[in-house]
Structure 1
């Protein structure tokens, strides 16, 4: 059993990740470490642990799919470096999100533009490059596994093919998002928009919070980045300083007063 701890493995892996993808990988693997335990030996991690983490991540959305891809890339690295005997990535299966009921305007967003910051587009491009590298690695895993002629009970082959399916699906998602991406540049409109930073005050509690409004693929609550299509994001888009909006959040309705808006 590998005595390498999760935090040690994360530190080694992060050194291999370059550019804007590094921060995204570090953020997600930090979540994994806090959830599983940074000092636990990786050799004790099992497929059911990874499957449970997938449940904790929530249903499949562009954001959770991006996060899951970061974790799968980590497991590919661990297998390649011999830290783990098997790639645990295939156990990270996100549940499909419930489809919205068809109604007025249904389907209109299938080919709509996605507003992203320049950083968001760079992150998607970096993720695509990482996925392309993982694609090559998993093809080699499949080639090696197929040397075992007994396909009936070939767990490594099944795992590699499953991982290949996840990688190919994510590549399609990323390429589709890049195709639809519209980069939102800086502009002093004074209105809340994607790419701006806005301070808001909870009218009920008086608590002040600062948010960066980003595209749906860039959201990261830990960094104060909220999606333009989240309940708070949608309510704030188009507002100016002094506006008060009501947000139907999971915890209940709340009123927010818009403060400074920095584009």
Structure 2
């Protein structure tokens, strides 16, 4: 039996099944390989490693079957090719989807993600650009894998790593777009995405003005901060006249919210 590590075995598997696996399956397989350890020899992978990974994925909820089916297929392949003495796919337990009100529940409840229209458009553009890179990456992997030397193949490793990064980013963007809730330009009852906020720094007695944007648009140098930034988190949902404290990179700061304005 040939000694092969997880990373190279996965490359071989993806090369042989390129036309049968979609990008989502590629991403989940790369994620599994990273979790187990790409340099770990296949024979060193044990049932508890696989079962633990599967249980963690099940606990996350969501599209469990979509995430674990590719892993089961890969583990079955390792067994059929004689690369592992045990069929580890039997340790990937995928629960049956729950049925509520006569319909199969395939998606979990999720929280919306507030963003500006420009933030949403920026995500869509980046997603389209990344998807456009897929054919080039796939071809790079096929070309690098053609020499059949999986032990020391820097171009193959680089292409495989790049594919993993791209697919991970694509998944993040698709999820953010799915959860997107474009903010109402009229605003709400307090500070939120889309607001321009004037704060009085109670330590320096000077005014500071910030635009509250989503994370993709954040640019502190241009006074654009997200609600996940120290100051943004401190003032999120607060109204004019409220005093807040924020732990900034320069230390603790106290602010008074003087004005909250939403562009019409």
Shorter chain as denominator, the TM-score bin is: 0.5 to 0.7
Match of 1:216 in 2: 215
1:129 is paired with a residue whose SS is helix
Q: Which runs of 4+ in 1 moved over 3 A?
A: 188-191
**Residues 28-177 of structure 1 aligned to structure 2 (within 5 Å):** 111-177=110-176
Counterpart residue number, 1:232: 231
How far apart, in 2, do the equivalents of 1:238 and 1:248 lie?
Answer: 17
Structure 2, unaligned runs of 5 or more: 1-108
Shift of 1:117: 0.7
Larger Rg: 2
Q: Is the 8 A contact 1:202 1:257 kept in 2?
A: yes
Pairing 1:202–2:207 present: no
Unmatched runs of 5 consecutive residues or more in structure 1: 1-109
Distance 2:222 2:135 in 1: 32
Aligned residue for 1:177, secondary structure, equals helix
TM-score by length of 1: 0.54
Count residues in correspondence.
155
2:246 matches 1:257: no
Could you list the per-position Cα deviations for residues 214-237 of structure 1 after superposition, in whole angstroms to 9, with x for gaps in the alignment?
223332212222111222112212
Say whether the 8 Å CA contact 1:244–1:256 is kept in structure 2. Answer: yes
Q: Secondary structure at the match of 1:125?
A: helix
Cα separation, 1, equivalents of 2:250 and 2:148: 55
SS of the counterpart of 1:153? coil
- 1:248 CA drift (Å): 2.8
Q: Distance in 1 between matches of 2:142 and 2:200?
A: 57
CA distance in 2, matches of 1:189, 1:150: 60
CA change 1:151–1:211 in 2 (3 A) is same
Post-superposition offset of 1:188: 5.3
Q: Per the alignment, in what secondary structure is the counterpart of residue 152 of structure 1? A: coil
Task: Please report the RMSD computed on the Cα atoms of aligned residues, expressed in angstroms.
Answer: 2.2
Work out whether residues 187 and 195 of structure 2, in 8 Å CA contact, stay in contact via their aligned partners in 1. Answer: no
TM-score if structure 2 supplies the norm length? 0.54
Contact 1:197/1:212 (CA < 8 Å) preserved in 2? yes
